[in-house]
Every structure is written in C-alpha cells, then in structure tokens.
Amino acid sequence: MLFLFGRRGLFSFRQADAWFTSINRNSISDEPSEPSAADRESADEQVERDIPTVYRDFVVPDSARGQRIDLFLTSACDGFSRTQIRHAVQADGAHVDGKIIRPSFKLKAGQSIRFRMPEPVSDDTIPENIPLDVLYEDDGLVVVNKPPGMVVHPARGNWQGTLTSALAFRFQSLSDVGGPTRPGIVHRLDRDTSGAIVVAKTNAVHLSLCEQFAARTVAKEYFAITNGPIDRDRDVVEASIGRHPYQRDKQAIREGHATSKAASTFYEVISRHGRYTQVRVRPKTGRTHQIRVHLSHIGAPIICDRMYAGHAQITAEQLQPGIKDNPGAVVLSRQALHARVLTIRHPQSGKDMTFEAPLPADIQRVIDLLN
C-alpha cells in the first residue's frame, strides 16, 4: 500500500489487479515552475503550482485483457470515483505504450500504462457566506447571475470562494447527483465568465436538466466584445475542439484528432466600433472554452482573454483613443464574456422559462466607452 501526504491530507492507492512498477520521482516535485501567460489562467481547472503531480505506472495483466482503461484504473486507484478517473483520462492523463488514449480504450495484456493521478478532493463543500444575485427561485431550482472571478465548484487551486460554497450557505437542500463537492451543479461557466447558471434543488430536477443539456434543447445566449474584424454580420463556426497539445489548461482547434469533439457556434454582430465588435453568441454544443476558442479561430478573440487573446486588461484610451479623462485607467481585467440569456423547460411544470442576467458593471463600462 502506498501512502502520500498532500495539501488535502492522507490518501492511498491500492495495487488491485495490476503490477505497480514505479513512480517517476522526477514527476513528483514541490518546486514551483514559472507558468506561461496562458497557463496562469484556467476556467475551473486552474492548477496550483505547489501541488505535486503523481504518476502511477502499470503493466496490464492477463486478467484485464479487453477491459476499458477507465474501469481498470478505477479498480486500481483507491479513493477515486469512476467519474474522477474518466475525467483524468479525458484530460490526456493516461498513456498506453506512450500514446494518449480515451476512457473507452480496451486494454491488451502486457501493455504499459502511465497514469497522472487526479488530486484527492475534499468530501464536503464548506458553506461560505458569499452574496448571490438570485434571478429566480422555486422549490425545484435556482437561477443565479454568477459574478466574474468565481469558480463554480472546488478544484485544484480553488478550494474557497466557489459558487457551491455560496449555494451551500444560502440553500438548505440541493441535489447531490454531482457528488458532495458539486451540490446542485448542472452545468458550468468559466471562472471569468459571468452570467446565468441554473442550479438544481432536487435530484429529479437535476436529472431532467441534465437530459435537456445532453439533448441540446437548452438555449444559451452570450454577449461578447471582441478585438479584430468580423466581416460577416452573422455566421456559424464549425470547428472541432480538443485539448491543446502543449498547454494542458488550454483548448485548440484540432480537426480530425482522436480526442477532439465537434463544436458549433452561431454568432451575430450587434455593433462595430473600429477594431472592436459587440457580438451575440449562441453555442450549439457545449465544449470547454468553446466560444473563446471559436471567436479566436476567426480572428476576433474576446478582449482581455489572457489565454486566447494574449492580454489580460484594457484601458480607457485603448477603447476610446484621445480620451482626456484618466486615459490609463484599467476598464476591464477579465474576458468580456457574459451568459446573458438561458432558456430551459422547467422539469416540474413543463413550461419553457427564459432568464436574463443583466450585464455586469465592468462590461457596461466598456460598452459606454465604445459608444
């Protein structure tokens, strides 16, 4: 039995039906590395640099022949659910004979597996008295206007100040379908994306909403401000998205790659202001960072998107050249992306309901300067 002690406490891994061959000691380090500009920010997946990365190596025994790798690793790695293991594999965390594979990959006897272990998470959500802008509430669900800078649920580097902590403090009962660290959470918004997000109070409502998201019957409309010319007044971006080959927290257009997924985004120009454009966006699919990646792909990244636009803030003079009043003032320091409208079918009443989240003050200041 191997025991490791990390920031989240003592945890263990059992050998199960596998041969535990070695841990690469060069992969376990408390030395922080200097992150690139892109690596300093991640939506819901920000990595805290002083948490050691732990790898486990296995050789597949005859008894595991034909078994899915996610099932094999779940039985071999104590303390983690199949969902946690599957997410780790989907994040390019598993290599078989040196190749990145998917969770459904079928194993062969004698193959070598290197697996990047997910970090153990706390079993409970710690309630915190954080103000919430509640747009709607009834017995089955809540719709919240999430502020920018708030992570939806606890993750590495973001254990406090999350939406789930605020929800746990405010509401006595939330669904537990997503596990103890994600009470009520049906879908997510990136940390620096503001706007409407629906939260389930009961498991029945949660499952119904999940079905709607899976069937793509939920209508989502975002507001964005981009930097770069957009020639067409409206169009659909069809481009597959997968994890960036070199930066693990970043997504990229990866047509034809084994781990990429089809993605479709409709956009419509609201108004143009020289190099800047106000855009209405309706994603048809729900890939990680989809809107940000697709707008960057057409040459119009969202302003202040440090990961895909290469800058993290914008000043009054950049938005309105020649302005006399405090031209160097920073107007916005996060991506100008807001989930403005959300339409669902209420699981209990069966009625279609539309919720609108007002634009936050920082984005409104940008609009005022552009106008």
State the CATH number of the domain containing residue 229: 3.30.2350.10
- Claim to verify: residue 179 and residue 281 sit in the same structural domain: no
The three-state (H, E, C) secondary structure of 87-107, written as one string? HHHHHHHEEECCEECCCCCEC
Q: What secondary structure letter does DSSP report for 160?
A: S
* CATH number, domain with residue 30: 3.10.290.10
- Claim to verify: residue 210 and residue 224 sit in the same structural domain: no
In a domain, 129, yes or no: no
In the chain, count H helices and then E strands.
7, 20
pLDDT score at 227:
96
Domain carrying residue 312: 219-370
Please list, in sequence order, all residues whose beta carbon lies within 8 angstroms of the beta carbon of residue 276, skipping any fewer than 6 positions away. Answer: 225, 226, 227, 303, 319, 370
- Claim to verify: residue 190 and residue 236 sit in the same structural domain: no
- Claim to verify: residue 193 and residue 262 sit in the same structural domain: no
In a domain, 121, yes or no: no
pLDDT score at 115:
94
Please identify, among 116, 150, 166, the residue that sits at the C-terminal boundary of a domain.
116
Structure tokens at 230: 């957009």
**Alpha carbon distance 242, 324 (integer Å):** 44
- Claim to verify: residue 71 and residue 139 sit in the same structural domain: no
pLDDT score at 218:
96
For the annotated catalytic residues, the residue numbers are: 190
**Alpha carbon distance 266, 287 (integer Å):** 14
Cα three-residue angle 248-278-228, rounded to 5 degrees: 60
- Claim to verify: residue 201 and residue 85 sit in the same structural domain: no
**Residues 73, 90 contacting (CB under 8 angstroms):** no
Please identify, among 145, 179, 214, the residue that sits at the C-terminal boundary of a domain.
214
**Alpha carbon distance 69, 92 (integer Å):** 13
- Claim to verify: residue 223 and residue 210 sit in the same structural domain: no
Residue 238, classed as helix, strand or coil, is strand
pLDDT score at 157:
59
- Claim to verify: residue 195 and residue 67 sit in the same structural domain: no
Please identify, among 193, 214, 235, the residue that sits at the C-terminal boundary of a domain.
214
- State how many domains the chain has: 3
Cα atoms found within 13 Å of the Cα of residue 11, Cβ hemisphere only = 17
- Claim to verify: residue 241 and residue 345 sit in the same structural domain: yes
pLDDT by residue for the chain (371 residues), tens only, comes to 333 333 333 333 333 333 333 333 232 222 222 333 333 334 333 333 334 578 899 999 998 999 999 999 988 887 677 888 998 899 899 999 999 999 999 999 999 999 998 866 555 678 889 999 999 999 999 999 999 999 897 766 566 789 999 999 999 889 988 877 788 999 999 999 999 999 999 999 999 999 999 999 999 999 999 999 999 999 999 999 998 888 878 999 998 887 789 999 999 999 999 999 999 999 999 999 999 999 999 999 999 999 999 999 999 999 999 999 899 999 999 999 999 999 999 999 999 999 999 999 999 999 999 98
Q: Which of 155, 222, 214, 220 has its CA nearest to residue 186?
A: 214
**Residues 112, 59 contacting (CB under 8 angstroms):** yes
| DSSP string over 182-203 | STTB-S---TT-EEEEEEESSH
- Claim to verify: residue 277 and residue 318 sit in the same structural domain: yes
In a domain, 277, yes or no: yes
In a domain, 315, yes or no: yes
In a domain, 309, yes or no: yes
- Claim to verify: residue 148 and residue 192 sit in the same structural domain: yes
In a domain, 123, yes or no: no
- Claim to verify: residue 87 and residue 188 sit in the same structural domain: no
In a domain, 103, yes or no: yes
In a domain, 144, yes or no: yes
